[in-house]
Chains A and B, each alone.
Chain A
Amino acid sequence: NAGVTQTPKFQVLKTGQSMTLQCAQDMNHEYMSWYRQDPGMGLRLIHYSVGAGITDQGEVPNGYNVSRSTTEDFPLRLLSAAPSQTSVYFCVIRSSTGELFFGEGSRLTVL
């Protein structure tokens, strides 16, 4: 996972709380994205960004907010957590040659 820093690894929230998952890279790649993974559902795209100042929605964007003010950082915000957002979250970065780099994952539980 060299070059990708995803935090936190584990988090427990109460319904209605807010939090931010952080994803940072030092590889200068343009494409950054967030996925959630639930049993039997694979990785589903939440939001993605093709460069600083540009973000777009994926398959399951509701309840999540992103911004891309720098090339290095792509935080994912949960403004009001719900139990349905209990999941494992992955930050995925793509190089210009198509190589993918994954964060280690963040296990989020919303009570």
Chain B
Amino acid sequence: RKEVEQDPGPFNVPEGATVAFNCTYSNSASQSFFWYRQDCRKEPKLLMSVYSSGNEDGRFTAQLNRASQYISLLIRDSKLSDSATYLCVVNFYNQGGKLIFGQGTELSVKP
């Protein structure tokens, strides 16, 4: 089993739709979590960090469920410009602090 897993998609949604991605991780001692956005295999850009209490940034909401070992990203009112690949990143502090990326979820927002 991979340490960090995502549904690769693609998710094809119309403009204005709400879409949610999940990312599961295998190590319960993982300490920090992030969502990154990647366009056309350029370097990924930070979308948001994920906190235990959940956090929101405009149309984006990230949540962490430690009991079930997954994080989620919710995008409301999807825009064409949201089309990208979304990567979850987990920091495994008890394994030398290595960072593991999920394989990415591809989102395509259509007019």
Given the complex, which residues of A lie within 8 Å of B87, measured CB to CB?
A: 42-43
On chain A, the residues within 8 Å of B46 by CB distance are 99-100
List the B side residues contacting A41 at CB < 8 Å: 103
Interface of A, helix, strand, loop or mixed by DSSP: strand
Rounded to whole Å, the gap between the CB of A92 and the closest CB of chain B is 7
Could you tell me the dominant secondary structure of chain B's interface residues?
strand
How far, in Å, is B8 (CB) from chain A's closest CB? Answer: 6
- Interface size grouping (class) on chain B: 20 to 34
Interface residues of B (CB under 8 A from A): 6, 8, 32, 34, 36, 41-44, 46, 49, 87, 89, 91, 96-104
User: Can you name 11 A-B pairs with beta carbons within 8 Å?
Assistant: A33-B98, A35-B101, A37-B41, A42-B6, A42-B101, A43-B87, A43-B101, A44-B101, A45-B98, A50-B97, A94-B97
